[in-house]
Amino acid sequence: MRWYLRRHPRLFIGGGLVALLILVAIFAPFIAPYDPTAVDVSQTLEPPGPAHWLGTDDLGRDVFSRTVYGARISLSVGLIAVSIGFTVGVTIGLIAGYLGGLVDLLAMRAIDALLAFPALVLAISITAALGPQIQNAMIAIGVVAVPLYTRLTRGQVLSVRERDYITAARTIGASGRRIVLRHIFPNITNPLVVQATLSIAFAILAEATLSFLGLGAQPPTPTWGADINYSQRWLSNLKWWMSVGPGLGIFLAVFSFNYFGDALRDALDPRIRRSG
């Protein structure tokens, strides 16, 4: 363990940051000193201080408490949306890459059609069509992630389906389903896991964007994007602390998952291991 820690210190740092975020989201009721939706008109627009570490908004709600609870929404959206994109995209990629032919052609043309739209524009369009709810935001971000996993999976399948162990499995009469699930998929998981980690960062940022536009979780649910949108009207009055909490939350979450994804890629890439 000490040898692995010395060789991949960034992996443990990134993993620690991600674990810290998850713990904050899980134990938010115990970390947050106040109810994030409780209104206290006697404490409106209080600057940061001992009682309210990040101050209060114009309704007297504690900004720090709302930031802590906002981690629950962002991480939930990130994990669920990526799970949707991962499951659907990997399934399509496995089928298209292994079968090839007409199936591969039709699947890739459908994926190309999705890729014709910018990711955020497509997510905004889907959420607006389905309705401004957090569940619809998860679906929209998941749909946006499908093409990425499909193309990545298909490329990996094409690179391994003609290898000797796959040919040997066909020779002994293994079914296509068994070959895909038992021989191909386990050998292409490394890049998929790395991409999933990096995609969570994008999903968190996309959720913040949708919430900022009013298409995510609805008030008074604490979300980082919606709170930044709500607080911008007070920036001209120098009430800067209302934006600091959710802004830091988005920054730390995106940075942590990107850092962890990069470190995980370095640790799992055999070429980097050999050069190291």
In this predicted structure, what is the pLDDT of residue 274?
Answer: 47
| Domains identified in the chain, total number | 1
Is 175 a residue whose pLDDT tops 50?
A: yes
Contact (CB, 8 A) for 204 and 72? no
* CATH number of residue 162's parent domain: 1.10.3720.10
Residue pointed to by tokens 């991962």: 86
* Whether the predicted pLDDT of 10 surpasses 90: no
Q: Is residue 15 part of a domain?
A: no
pLDDT reading at 140 higher than 60: yes
pLDDT, residue 109, reads: 93
pLDDT exceeds cutoff 90 at 68? yes
* Between 269 and 134, residue with greater pLDDT: 134
- Which residues span the domain enclosing 130? 25-37+49-275
Instruction: Kindly report the average pLDDT of the chain as a whole number.
Output: 89
* Distance, CA of 69 to CA of 220 (rounded, Å): 12
Q: Is it the case that residue 182 has pLDDT exceeding 80?
A: yes
Tell me the C-alpha distance between 137 and 19, whole Å: 24
Q: Would you place residue 30 in the very low, low, confident or very high pLDDT band (cuts 50, 70, 90)?
A: very high
Residue 2 lies in a domain: no
Is residue 276 predicted with pLDDT exceeding 80?
no
In a domain, 153, yes or no: yes
- The CB-side HSE value for 256 (13 A sphere, CA atoms) comes to 20
Q: What pLDDT digit, counting tens, does each position of 232-264 carry?
A: 888 888 888 899 999 999 999 999 999 999 888
Whether 44 is covered by a domain: the verdict is no
Structure pTM? Answer: 0.90
Is residue 116 one of the residues assigned to a domain?
yes
> Would residue 167 count as lying in a domain?
yes
Of 128 and 270, the structure prediction assigns the larger pLDDT to 128
| Residue 118 tokens, joined | 């910018």
